[in-house]
Structure 1
Amino acid sequence: MPVVYKITYPNGKIYIGQDRTDTFNYFGSADSKLIEKDFTADQRRDFTIRKEILWESSTASRAEVAQIELQFIRSMRSNDPLVGYNQWPRYSGASEISPVR
C-alpha cells in the first residue's frame, strides 16, 4: 500500500518521503552526507529516528502519491534547510506553503 511518511532525526529536523510498497524497514533516500553534517562522530554512534506514516491509500495512483508527498513537503517545510532534509523542491520561502488535502 502506498504511504507518505515523515522521518524525524534527533536534532528535530525532518524528511518526508513516499514508499509505494509500505516496506517496514525503508527509511527513505535522504542525502546521508547532508544529514551527517549536522551530527558529530560521537552523536552518529548511537541515535534514534522516528518514522511516522502521514498518509496511506490502497487505491492511489503513482501521480497522486507523488502529489501528496509534495504537499506534505511544502506544508511541513521539510525542504527548508532549517527544518528538514528534503532538497526538492527548492525552498523559496513561506509563500510556498499549501495545505494538504
Structure 2
Amino acid sequence: GQQALWRGLPLRTFGRAVYAKPDFVSTQPLAEFFARPARPDTAAYRDFRAYLLETSQVAGGFYSGRARRQLLRQVVDMMLAPDDAYDALARGTAAPRQRLRAVT
C-alpha cells in the first residue's frame, strides 16, 4: 500500500490501514475505481510519511545483519529518549533522527 502511495498510484483499501486516509486512499465504489481511479494527493502523503518516520517508523529490517544493526540503533535511541516521540514533535522539541552507521 505505502509503496503505491509513494509512487503516486491509485489505491483502494479493504479493511484497516494506518495510511487509509481520504487524501491518499480512494473511497470510490469499486466499479468507478477500476474505470477512473483517483490518484492520491502525493504532497499530503509525503507529509504523513514524514510524520510516521519521525514518530513511529524505524528504518531497518529483520532479514540481514546490516538491516538489524540499523534497526537496533534507532530502537535503542527511541527507547532511551527522555520524551515520547509524539509529544516531542507536538512541542517542537523533537531532535532529528541520526542516520549513523558503524564504520569498521
TM over 0.5: no
More strand by percentage: 1
More helix by percentage: 2
Quick check: which has more Rg, 1 or 2? 2
Q: TM-score, normalised by structure 2?
A: 0.30
